[in-house]
């Protein structure tokens, strides 16, 4: 016999998260949550197993809901608060990190780069279509030999009369093979420059990376640029140094601060449900103190993560957030989400390793999330530098 003595609570209710959100924020969260339940949850295990994602179709659906570039103003973007954007990322990543990645790269990297550093013509050309999801963008910063240290990039932009010629390669680029526009960062004689490269430009090619055990429901590609000729009007005029791409990273890292907690919540809720129905030794495993300790610890870390994310979101909405503060959140959310995923997996026993439950998929995805947008080591060193004033990178 089960020994239920009080009504069980959800982790969100136990922490009291709703009280920290406005009515509008709760509405946006709930509408993204129901999209994930209706559109993503029934399909994701199959997409993941097959290593596929209907990215074009999904981009249009996400665009219809106003989720692409949703925190940007004008050009067909919804202009929501940073907190609302974060909550949307959290719900999307409760579905799968790959879905949040699609939205992050589109809105926070490709669109944001054009929005913050592009000319008015570039904004008019790309942003409305990208907000609608009829054009997809990618963001090419990482190279085969330069990941954590993008300052060493080898992709070159050289002048040829009024034009630019781009040569080089970018690696691990989300949305690369499905993109209509690639924001490409390259070294010129005068420093790092950014270009909005239409992907049908001769000399540009994208090759899907197939052999992934993580982020399988996400398109990841290598970009090759061989004598790609572009007019100066394709250069982002406001981007004049490495500061430009690093500023874009702040935006996408912010989405992950919330997003990773969505994956954590899904693992936690799955473990909670499972523990109440799975019986061993004639009792629900939820009745064992060791299981309850795991559930309590997971809820505590999840709750602390959401509180930090909301604090950072409120600071961002106040226009007062620094890169090292975003690093605090990215490091904490992903690290704790991974621990939660692994702990949840133990509660599910052998069932935890299957695709019948989302836990192992989230755990595998979070390995990528720990690495992309700055590895956990990079964020540790960013925080260390802010604290000590001393750089340990070089
Ligand atoms: P450093 O000398 O520190 O900085 C160069 C210039 O940039 C400025 N800056 C920033 N500006 C805005 N936001 C930030 N977070 C910034 N960090 C630095 C800095 O003030 C300086 O400006 P200026 O005007 O003085 O020149 O640069 P560094 O070469 O020493 O590198 C610092 C370091 C290691 C922190 C940086 O390179 C770094 O963050 N590396 C990690 C690389 C990374 O995160 N790559 C991500 C690629 S995109 C991706 O992964 C997408 S995954 C998406 C998905 O699918 O969801
Ligand atoms: P490396 O930089 O080679 O690092 C290897 C290890 O060394 C790490 O543990 C790192 O922390 C450590 N290390 C490096 N330097 C130091 C140091 N100074 N001190 C201590 N430790 C150090 N990039 C894009 O530009 N656009 C994208 O859309 C994109 N999407 C991605 C999607 C996926 C699924 C993945 C996995 C990656 C994606 N990336 C993308 C690339 C990602 O940003 C890089 O993988 C990441 O920045 C790390 O670079 P790296 O893999 O080359 O690792």
Instruction: Say how many C-beta atoms besides its own lie within 10 A of residue 119's C-beta.
Output: 16
**Pairing verdict, β 181-188 and 137-140:** parallel
Residues contacting ligand 1 via CB (< 6 Å): 101, 104-105, 139, 141-142, 148, 150-151, 174, 241-243, 246-247, 249-250, 252, 323, 372-374, 378, 382, 393
| Dist. CA 163–CA 48, nearest whole Å | 42
Nearest alpha carbon, ligand 2 atom 27 = 173
Residue 53 DSSP class: -
pLDDT tens digits along 38-94 = 999 999 999 999 999 999 999 999 999 999 999 999 999 999 999 999 999 999 999
Q: Which ligand is nearest to the CA of 102?
A: 1
Q: Residue 11: CA atoms inside 13 Å, Cβ hemisphere, count? A: 28
CATH code for residues 137-234 = 2.40.110.10
Question: Cα-flanking dihedrals φ and ψ of residue 225, to 5°?
Answer: -120, 110
Bridge partners, 158 (sequence order) = 165
Percent of the chain predicted with pLDDT > 70: 99
Q: Are 261 and 97 in contact (CB under 8 A)?
A: no
> Residue 142 CA: which ligand 2 atom is closest?
25
For this structure, is 52 an active site residue? no
- For the chain, the domains span 11-132, 137-234, 243-388
For the segment 361-382, the average pLDDT, to the nearest whole number, is 98
> Residue 109 CA: which ligand 2 atom is closest?
28
Which stretch of DSSP H or E encloses residue 93? Answer: helix 82-95
pLDDT tens digits along 261-293 = 999 999 999 999 999 999 999 999 999 999 999
The alpha carbon dihedral of 238, 239, 241, 242 has a sign of: positive
pLDDT tens digits along 50-62 = 999 999 999 999 9
Residue 142 Cα to ligand 2 midpoint, Å, equals: 8
Q: Is pLDDT at 161 greater than 70 in this prediction?
A: yes
* pLDDT given at position 4: 77
For the segment 358-375, the average pLDDT, to the nearest whole number, is 98
Q: Which CATH class is domain 11-132?
A: mainly alpha
Q: Which CATH class is domain 243-388?
A: mainly alpha
pLDDT tens digits along 235-247 = 999 999 999 999 9
pTM score, two decimals? 0.98
């Amino acid at each position: 016999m089960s020994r239920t003595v009080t009504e069980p609570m959800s982790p969100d209710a136990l922490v009291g998260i709703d009280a920290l959100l406005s009515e509008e924020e709760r509405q946006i969260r709930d509408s993204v949550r129901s999209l994930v339940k209706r559109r993503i949850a029934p399909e994701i295990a199959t997409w993941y197993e097959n290593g596929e994602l209907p990215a074009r179709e999904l981009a249009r659906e996400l665009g219809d809901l106003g989720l692409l570039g949703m925190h940007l103003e004008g050009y067909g973007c919804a202009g929501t608060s940073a907190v609302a954007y974060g909550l949307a990322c959290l719900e999307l990543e409760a579905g799968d990190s790959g879905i949040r990645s699609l939205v992050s790269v589109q809105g926070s990297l490709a669109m944001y780069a054009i929005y913050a550093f592009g000319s008015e013509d570039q904004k008019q050309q790309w942003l409305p279509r990208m907000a609608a999801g009829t054009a997809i963008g990618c963001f090419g910063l990482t190279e085969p030999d330069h990941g954590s240290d993008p300052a060493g990039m080898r992709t070159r932009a050289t002048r040829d009369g009024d034009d630019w010629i781009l040569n080089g390669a970018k690696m691990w680029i989300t949305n690369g093979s499905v993109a209509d526009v690639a924001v490409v960062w390259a070294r010129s004689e005068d420093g790092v420059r950014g270009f909005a490269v239409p992907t049908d430009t001769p000399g540009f090619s994208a090759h899907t990376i197939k052999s992934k055990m993580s982020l399988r429901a996400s398109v990841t590609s290598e970009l090759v640029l061989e004598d790609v000729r572009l007019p100066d009007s394709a250069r982002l005029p406001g981007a004049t140094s490495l500061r430009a791409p690093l500023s874009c990273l702040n935006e996408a890292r912010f989405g992950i601060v919330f997003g990773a907690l969505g994956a954590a919540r899904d693992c936690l809720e799955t473990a909670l449900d499972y523990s109440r129905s799975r019986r061993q030794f004639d009792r629900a495993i939820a009745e064992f103190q060791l299981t309850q300790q795991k559930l309590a610890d997971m809820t505590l870390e999840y709750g602390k993560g959401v509180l930090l994310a909301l604090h950072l979101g409120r600071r961002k909405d106040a226009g007062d957030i620094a890169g090292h503060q975003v690093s605090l959140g990215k490091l904490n959310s992903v690290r704790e989400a991974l621990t939660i995923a692994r702990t949840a997996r133990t509660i599910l026993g052998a069932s935890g390793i299957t695709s019948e439950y989302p836990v192992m998929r989230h755990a595998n995805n979070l390995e990528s999330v720990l690495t992309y947008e700055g590895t956990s080591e990079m964020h540790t060193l960013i925080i260390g530098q802010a604290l000590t004033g001393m750089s340990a990178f070089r």
